[in-house]
Amino acid sequence: MGAGHGGPLGAAYVAGGSVVHRLEPHLKLVAVLAFALVVVATPVHAGWAPAAYAGYAALVLGAAAVARVPAGRLARGLVVEVPFLAFALLLPVVSRGPRVEVLGLSLSESGLAAGGGLLAKATLSVLAATVLAATTEPRELVRGLQRLRLPALLVQILSFMVRYADVVGGELRRMRVARESRGFRGRGPGALRVVATGAGALFVRSYERGERVHLAMLSRGYTGALPAGPAAAVPAQAWLVTLSLPLTAAAVLAAGMLLG
């Protein structure tokens, strides 16, 4: 029970005290979104596109270095891309248009550019989002979304989910340990029934926990809104520091468009 923050959500955060860790969460969210927009806006078929991607990569890896995010953490962040890696590799084979010979394979020129562009853009955005998740606690991210005017009810649902994901995940883990210590081996259709019954029990437990949480909140005077203190004003300098990442990326994009 006292496992602390070892759950799935806590695993995304790398504790630290760097400049990047201390930035305001809502500004970091804006910065990562703006960076992704700049990356996405880069034209795929331009000749200077690879140079621009290299520039963006240098920027985001620089931010990761300042934040002291370990390389292994960045690599693990990239794992989510794997299904799209397959899609991007397929594009040059199935795309139409003029073909080129590469290592004896006839590949589509536009497909190569499109597949490569997709892969580069997805990788850069994933890297930026990984740096964000590694330097910001889940609770702080929810607070950031709140300051960005996400609807209050959605923020409440989100904060409950973040608060209890590790509790629910922990129950699931204990169920698995209990199953396996009784000799369960997950194979075949019979195993599905066992695992699904566990998942059903998990739903009942989660829902009942939600009811208990609600009653506990009512007894503490909950009326449908959570009290929040006034948000501190953010100095212009903080904006400038946080947005330096997307602004520099935008400068790289503009340079490519003007010179390329």
Contacts to another protein from residues 24-43, by CB under 8 A: 29, 32-33, 36-37, 39-41
Looking at this protein, which amino acid is placed at residue 94? V
Rounded to an integer, what distance in angstroms lies between the CA atom of residue 180 and that of residue 142? 36
Among 6, 62, 186, 260, binds another protein (CB under 8 A): 186
- Cβ proximity to another protein: between 33 and 243 the closer is 33
Using the contact rule CB under 8 A, the part of the chain among 51-59, 75-83, 236-244, 251-259 near another protein is 75-83
Among 61, 66, 148, 213, binds another protein (CB under 8 A): 213
The verdict on 61 binding another protein (CB under 8 A) reads no
Using the contact rule CB under 8 A, the part of the chain among 49-57, 63-71, 194-202, 240-248 near another protein is 194-202
- Cβ proximity to another protein: between 80 and 235 the closer is 80
Maximum CA extent, the chain: 72
Rounded to an integer, what distance in angstroms lies between the CA atom of residue 146 and that of residue 119? 32
The verdict on 245 binding another protein (CB under 8 A) reads no
Rounded to an integer, what distance in angstroms lies between the CA atom of residue 55 and that of residue 251? 10
Q: Tokens 């703006």, residue?
A: 34
CA atoms within 13 A on the CB side of 226: 15
Q: Who's near 10: CB < 8 A, 6+ residues apart?
A: 4, 138, 166
Rounded to an integer, what distance in angstroms lies between the CA atom of residue 123 and that of residue 106? 26
- Reference 33, options 23, 22, 41; nearest CA is 41
Total number of residues shown for the chain:
260
How many residues touch another protein under the rule CB under 8 A: the total is 84
- Cβ proximity to another protein: between 145 and 255 the closer is 145
Q: Name the minimum Å distance from CB 116 to another protein.
A: 11
- Cβ proximity to another protein: between 68 and 176 the closer is 176
Contacts to another protein from residues 130-149, by CB under 8 A: 130, 132-133, 138, 141, 145
The verdict on 184 binding another protein (CB under 8 A) reads no
